[in-house]
Amino acid sequence: MKLLFSLLCSFFAILLINFQVVFAQNLEIDLDEGKQLFSQNCTPCHAGGNNSVNPTQTLKLDALENNKKDTIDAIIYQVTNGQNSAGMPAFGDNFSEEQIANIAHFVLNQAKNNSW
């Protein structure tokens, strides 16, 4: 009986994890919102995809690649947690996960399309 119960618990735990993964992947990406949030909050340092604090660490694709920030996850992490050593503040308390995902998609999109 105990075994059955713990099997059932694992089953539901796995179900829950899968559900969250699916849910995370189904976030609606809104590039327009990303663009708007970027221009309101990131352009003080990153106008035109530049970097006014560390001129080599731009948001252009080659720089993102060199700094291993050329994935959505890496950009989400960077925006959420900031990077003290690069003088970038954390935005995790200011925006929802969805807003940060939108910013990250906007940034990577601009970089990959060379549209900064």
Ligand X SMILES: *[C@@H]1O[C@H](CO)[C@@H](O)[C@H](O)[C@H]1NC(C)=O
Residue 66 in the binding site for ligand X (CB under 6 A): no
Q: Which residue of 7, 14, 16, 47 would you call a contact of ligand X, by CB under 6 A?
A: 47
38 binds ligand X (CB under 6 A): no
Task: Check binding of 50 to ligand X (CB under 6 A).
Answer: yes
Burial of 4 (0-12, 13-18, 19+ CB in 10 A): exposed
CB 114 within 8 A of CB 64: no
> In degrees rounded to 5, what are phi and psi of residue 83?
-150, 100
Stretch that binds ligand X, among 5-13, 20-28, 88-96, 98-106 (CB under 6 A): 88-96
